[in-house]
Structure 1
Amino acid sequence: MKIVAVAACTSGIAHTYIAKEKLLKAAEAAGHEIKVETQGTVGAENELTKSDVAQADVVIIAADIKISGQDRFKNKKVIEIPTNVVIKSPKGFIARVEELLKG
């Protein structure tokens, strides 16, 4: 499965980058391709390209705030969750995403 994600928290620092790392490790451990964009105090980093989004099977938005550029995900399966869900149970979350996509 190809996954694109955006991570963002209220301060744009700690939880943003922790969520990114947890998503990367859990998705890769499950055999999926993933690219994670972060939106924080320094702006957007590792920005998703149009091609990244077009090829993705699912979009994960792990955020505690409204992200910018959400309109680029229209017509895609989007799962929105708070960052703490990804931080506390990344492997369980990826397993739930797999189940949702199968159904």
Structure 2
Amino acid sequence: MSKKIVAVTACIAGIAHTYMAAENLKKYAKKEGYDIKVETQGAMGIENKLSQKDIDEADIVIFAVDTTVSKAERFNDKKIYKVGTSEVVKNGKAAIEGAIADAEE
């Protein structure tokens, strides 16, 4: 069964790492056949905002962040895998695999 993943990416400056992390997560998820939606919380504010339905249906939630997630209460009922943006930029595959392993515990 394909895993449904939602992620939020946000770095302190809200510029490069926010978007690079989002792209890396999407790239590895697509390669592995996972369904992923990524919300970015950058200098432009919240983009590609996740709907509550997206969040509720997700098997896995990844916060690839170096700062506080805006509107984090939307994820209250979910188990969240937290990782820094630079780790995801270096290795998006490890972040997704770590999140999946964490969700299956």
What is the TM-score normalised by the length of structure 2? 0.92
Quick check: 29-38 or 87-96, which moved more?
87-96
Deviation at 1:70, TM superposition (A): 0.5
**Distance in 2 separating the partners of 1:49 and 1:74:** 14
Conserved? CA contact 1:20–1:38, under 8 Å: yes
Q: Which of 24, 33, 36 is 2:35 aligned to?
A: 33
Q: Which runs of 5+ in 2 are unaligned?
A: none
Unaligned 5+ segments in structure 1 are: none
RMSD, matched Cα: 1.0
Q: Equivalent pairs: percent with the same residue?
A: 46
In the TM superposition, what are the counterparts of 1:15-30 in structure 2 within 5 Å?
Answer: 15-30=17-32
Partners of 1:15 and 1:83 within 8 A in 2: yes
Identify the residue that residue 69 of structure 1 maps to in structure 2: 71
Contact 2:81-2:102 within 8 A present in 1 as well = no
Q: Deviations over 1:33-88 (max 9, x none)?
A: 00000011111000000110010011111011101110110111111111011111
Aligned length: 103
